[in-house]
Amino acid sequence: MKKLILLTGMLLMMAAKSVFASPVAPKIAPSERMAASEITETVNKPAASSALVANLEPIEPTPATPAPVAKLEPIERMSTSEIRQTISQPTTYIFEGVKGRELTLSLWAGQLTAQLYSPNGQNMGAIDKSDNQWIGQLPESGIYRVRVTPKGETSSFVLERDFNAKWTYRPSRAIPIAFGENEATVKLKMSGYQIQPLTVQGKQGQTIKVSASNKTLDVAIESPSGQLLDQGEGQTFAQLPESGTYKVLVVANRPIKSSIRVAVR
């Protein structure tokens, strides 16, 4: 009986040890260990990156550089027929024109250039100190522009506008035909709407022949008694009806330079 009780107790103790024994850790193959290591690194990386970003100072955006503002050119109304000004930059003067009207635009003094523009923007020509007038018929009605540009830092000038141009006579000049010669050449520089009389002595029955180097000039021959003998563009010819002082008239409707050759035979 005692042996049976002792055996029963030993069996109960063995069962208890089996129930409360620590579990055996499973064996991990080398490849499984590598996978576990990689997973650990992957999990830890974001945390490290977050810490790095947290330590960086915030980057402020660079402000955009504003584009340079273009300087506007002054625009003034030409309310009178003449303006006198001193300018330091290109300046535009405007006036109203009527189609078909004759316009004389004159620029006096100053080192500058002026460009004339029609209402539709067409460049109608330039005037400067050496060629100081523009003369012509306005092609359309509207606002015309004269853009004046100084050639230096500053320039003073006078700009005149005339819709009723008047012809003017320049003082007479004698044609310098030397003794024993029968012809001579005269060089002329004329503004618009000017008439230059050239005088020459002639005898009845002789002929006068006139030719201009610029064929746009009108030339004419006037007798001592005031009779108009002949006229033409760039050249003219006449037989002299009487003896006396004849006039060769050179007519310029715009600024021009030309040589005038006069022969008396």
168-264: CATH architecture: Sandwich (2.60)
| Confidence at residue 175, expressed as pLDDT on a 0 to 100 scale | 93
| Confidence at residue 98, expressed as pLDDT on a 0 to 100 scale | 85
Q: Is the pTM of this model over 0.85?
A: no
260, 185 in Cβ contact below 8 A? yes
| Confidence at residue 163, expressed as pLDDT on a 0 to 100 scale | 79
Radius of gyration over every alpha carbon of the chain, rounded to an integer in angstroms: 52
Domain range annotation of the chain: 75-162, 168-264
Residue ranges of alpha helices (H) inside 134-263 are none
| Confidence at residue 209, expressed as pLDDT on a 0 to 100 scale | 95
**Same fold for the domain at 75-162 and the one at 168-264?**
yes
Choose among 208, 190, 177, 166: nearest CA to 250: 190
Residue appearing with tokens 């007519």 = 251
| Confidence at residue 16, expressed as pLDDT on a 0 to 100 scale | 46
| Confidence at residue 120, expressed as pLDDT on a 0 to 100 scale | 92
Q: Kindly give the parts of the chain with pLDDT less than 50.
A: 2-8, 16, 18-54
φ, ψ of residue 17 in degrees (nearest 5): -65, -35
**HSE-up of residue 205 (Cα within 13 Å, Cβ side):** 0
DSSP code at position 10:
H
Locate the DSSP E strands across 33-171. Answer: 75-77, 82-87, 91-97, 102-108, 112-117, 123-128, 133-137, 142-150, 155-162, 168-169
Question: Which two tokens mark 184?
Answer: 């001579």
Side chain identity at residue 198, one-letter code: L
Handedness of CA 247, 253, 257, 261 (dihedral sign): negative
| Confidence at residue 43, expressed as pLDDT on a 0 to 100 scale | 43
| Confidence at residue 10, expressed as pLDDT on a 0 to 100 scale | 56
Could you give the percent of the chain with pLDDT greater than 70?
70
75-162: CATH architecture: Sandwich (2.60)
SS3 content of the chain, % helix, strand, coil (to 5): 15, 45, 40
